Amino acid sequence: MGERASTKLLTDSQGGQKMKELLEKVIKGEALDTYEIEAVFSSMAEGKLGPALSAAFLVAMRARGEKPEELEALVRVMLKKAVKVPIDRRPLVDVVGTGGDGMHTLNVSTLSALLMASFGLKVAKHGNRAISSSCGSADLLEGLGFKIDAPKDMMVQSLLQTGFGFFFAPLYHPCMANVQPIRRELGIRTLFNFLGPLINPTDPELMLIGAPSVEGAWMMARALKGLGKKAFVVHGLDGLDEVSPEADTLLLEVSPDGVLERRISPEDFGLKRVPTAFLRVEGSEGALRRARAILEGSEDPGRNAVIMEAALGLKLCGLVQDLKEGATMCEEALRSKKGLEVLEKAKEVLNRA
C-alpha cells in the first residue's frame, strides 16, 4: 500500500469504520503496521479525526504499550509535515526531557543546553509549553526574557552566533494544534510525549534524551536506531526523566549499528549523591526562580543534576571521554555564569528582530 493509499485509509467514506477496526486491533494488543500508523496519525494531525476517537486511540496505545516501530513511523510522518529549518553548519545537538514522569522538577535539560552551548557546541533545542509538568522549556525561557516565538531566520542566527537556538514546537509543527487540546485534556503521558524529542525540525545529528521509564527509554532508543541517529537516552532509576543526582541512571548509547546499555551513577561524575526531592519545584514561578539562581552560579541543590546532564552531553559530542572531566568543566562553567552569558547573548541577537 503506497502513501496515497494509506492516507485514503481513514478519509474515504469507510474511514470511520476502518478507524474502529484499527482501534480494536490495538485493544487486542496487536501492533499497527507502518501504513496503518501513518494513516491514523496523519488523519489525527490534520484534524480529520474527532477528539473522542483520537483520545481513545492514544489511551488504548498507552494501555497496550507503545511499539518502537509505531513511534518511528509517527516521527517520519511528523517530520514530513514540519516546517523545514535548513542549517549548513553542523553538527547540531539537542538535549531534552520527555516529560510525563509526574515529578514536577527543575528544567534540567534547558539549563544543561545553555551550559553545553558555552563550550562551542551548536545546541538546537526543541521544546514546548508545559503539558504534564509544572513548567515547560518554552515557559522557562520566556520567563527568562528569551523570545521563543522569534522568526525562524533570527533563531538560526542566534544558534550560529551564540551556540543556542530554541525551536518552539507550535511554530514548526502547525498540525500539532489539532492534537494539543486532546493531550492537555487527557493530562497523561501518551505516545506524543515520546514524539516531541524526536521531531526537532533542525534534524540534529546528536541527541541527549531523557525518558520517563525504562520501557520508554528502550522504545525511544530503538526508534532512534531505526532513524539512523547517534544519541544517549537516559532514565533515572528513581523515576526521573533525566540523569538522576541520587540513584543510578540507565544510559542507552544509540548508533545506527545498535544500542549499548550501561548504568551510570553520580560517583562516575565525581559527585556526591543528592536527593532527587531537591529538584522539585513549586509551579512555574518556583521553576523560574530556581533556574535563575543556578544560572547565576548559586549553590542551589539542583545544580548537580544540571552538571551531570551537561557533562553527559559533552561526552556525546566528543568533547570529553571521561564523565568526571566533563563534570569538572561544567561545574566551573556554571560557577562562572557561562550558561547565563549564552542566554543573554542569544536574547540580544533575537531582540534585533
Rounded CA-CA distance 238/276 in Å is 8
Q: Each residue of 83-102: pLDDT tens digit?
A: 999 999 999 999 998 865 56
Give helix then strand counts, H and E, for the chain: 16, 7
Rounded CA-CA distance 204/50 in Å is 33
Longest dimension (CA), the chain: 63
Q: Is the pLDDT of residue 31 over 90?
A: no
Radius of gyration of the chain (CA): 20
Taking all residues of the chain, what is their mean pLDDT, rounded to a whole number? 91
| pTM of the predicted model as reported, rounded to 2 decimal places | 0.90
Q: Each residue of 38-60: pLDDT tens digit?
A: 889 888 888 888 899 999 999 99
Q: Domains of the chain by range and CATH? A: 3-65 (no CATH), 93-349 (3.40.1030.10)
Q: Is the pLDDT of residue 8 over 90?
A: no
Which cell is 201 given?
Answer: 525540525
Rounded CA-CA distance 74/191 in Å is 9
Q: Strands of 258-264's sheet, edge to edge? A: 164-168, 123-127, 93-97, 206-210, 230-236, 249-255, 258-264
* Of 19-28, 96-105, 156-165, 218-227, the least confident: 96-105
**DSSP-based three-state secondary structure for 164:** strand
Q: Is 5 exposed, middle or buried (0-12, 13-18, 19+ CB in 10 A)?
A: exposed
